[in-house]
């Protein structure tokens, strides 16, 4: 399973990229606004920090406008992936861009039928929002299972990119279901490294090592 970080904070991205475990980045207009930097400039900076895809989202709602914005965004760097909303115009844009070889992430997916349509439109990634689905009384992970089943039934190559992740259990369940990618905020990814027994174990080992009076090297 690939790990993407869901942020436009370049310091956080650089920090995670240094682990060698980061496969890509996703952004959205909210995250770009939060970063407080020029969209094009910050996207270019992010593209230089990771080798994998960096999702940059269009804000136009019509097909022609989306195509115009995508043209500007895909010139930023070779690893830009155009993010479009799951609407009729969004999928029309997805079809046009992927036919030309541009990677597309279809976002704001809340149903398995929407995911089916995105796959038919040739989406590189489909982004179902599990956290927001849960927040509204639905079962986000059930949506991921349904999409996995449908994509496997028809051997669709669209990758399931689990988005709107709130905690480690979402990550664990995504891996059990066989999602292709998760995108999570930096704090959630950093939390995956941690366990209270790991910390306690290190503390115990270091205390005993100090008593031994030995050194390495
Ligand atoms: O970037 C898309 C998605 O991950 C947003 O998550 O936390 O705003 O629901 P959230």
3 state SS for 148-212: HHHHHHCCCCCEEEEECCCCHHHHHHHHHHCCCEEEECHHHHHHHCCCHHHHHHHHHHHHHHHHH
| Cα 83 to middle of ligand 1, angstroms | 13
Closest CA to 8 of 36, 29, 27: 27
| Cα 27 to middle of ligand 1, angstroms | 9
Q: Which two tokens stand for residue 165?
A: 């992740």
CB of 182 closer than 8 Å to CB of 161: yes
Choice among 2, 37, 75, 83 that is catalytic: 83
Whether residue 114 is contained in a domain is answered as yes
Protein residues with CB under 6 Å of any ligand 1 atom: 6, 26, 28, 129, 131-132, 163-164, 183
Residue 95: its pLDDT value, please?
98
Q: Residue length, the chain?
A: 217
**Taking the CB of residue 202, how many other CB atoms lie within 10 A of it?**
10
46: left (phi > 0), else alpha (psi -120 to 50), else beta? alpha
> What pLDDT digit, counting tens, does each position of 146-165 carry?
999 999 999 999 999 999 99
Range(s) of the domain holding residue 65: 2-212
Residue 97: its pLDDT value, please?
98
Count: domains in the chain: 1
Whether residue 19 is contained in a domain is answered as yes
Whether residue 158 is contained in a domain is answered as yes
User: What ligand 1 atom has the least distance to the C-alpha of 166?
Assistant: 7
Q: Which residues of the chain have pLDDT under 50?
A: none
- Is 132 in a helix, a strand, or coil? helix
Q: Which two tokens stand for residue 74?
A: 């895909």
95 noted as active-site residue: no
Whether residue 134 is contained in a domain is answered as yes
DSSP characters for 20-62? T---EEE--HHHHHHHTS-HHHHHHHHHHH-SS-EEEE----S
> What pLDDT digit, counting tens, does each position of 127-151 carry?
999 999 999 999 999 999 999 999 9
CATH number, domain at 177? 3.20.20.70
Whether residue 217 is contained in a domain is answered as no
**Of 3, 4, 6, which is best to mutate to test ligand 1, by the most ligand atoms within 8 angstroms of its C-beta?**
6
The residue contributing the CA closest to ligand 1 atom 5 is 164
Say what the pTM is. 0.97
Whether residue 111 is contained in a domain is answered as yes
CB of 87 closer than 8 Å to CB of 61: yes
Whether residue 208 is contained in a domain is answered as yes
Whether residue 162 is contained in a domain is answered as yes
Residue 169: its pLDDT value, please?
98
């Amino acid at each position: 399973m690939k790990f993407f970080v869901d942020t436009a904070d370049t310091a956080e991205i650089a920090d995670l990229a240094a682990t060698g475990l980061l496969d890509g980045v996703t952004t959205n207009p909210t995250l770009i606004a939060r970063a407080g930097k020029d969209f094009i400039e910050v996207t270019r900076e992010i593209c230089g920090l990771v080798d994998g895809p960096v999702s940059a989202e269009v804000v136009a709602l019509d097909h022609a406008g989306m195509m115009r914005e995508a043209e500007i965004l895909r010139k930023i760097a070779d690893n830009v992936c155009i993010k479009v909303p799951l609407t009729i115009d969004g999928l029309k844009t997805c079809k046009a861009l992927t036919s030309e070889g541009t990677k597309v992430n279809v976002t704001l997916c809340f149903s398995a039928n929407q995911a089916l349509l995105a796959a038919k439109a040739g989406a590189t990634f489909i982004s179902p929002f599990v956290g927001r689905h849960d927040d509204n009384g639905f079962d986000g992970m059930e949506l991921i299972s349904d999409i996995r089943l449908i994509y496997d039934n028809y051997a669709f190559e669209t990758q399931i990119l689990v988005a709107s992740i709130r905690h480690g259990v979402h990550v664990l369940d995504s891996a059990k279901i066989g999602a292709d990618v998760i995108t999570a905020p930096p704090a959630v990814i950093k939390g995956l490294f941690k366990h209270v027994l790991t910390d306690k174990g290190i503390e115990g080992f270091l205390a005993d090592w100090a008593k031994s009076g030995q050194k390495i090297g």
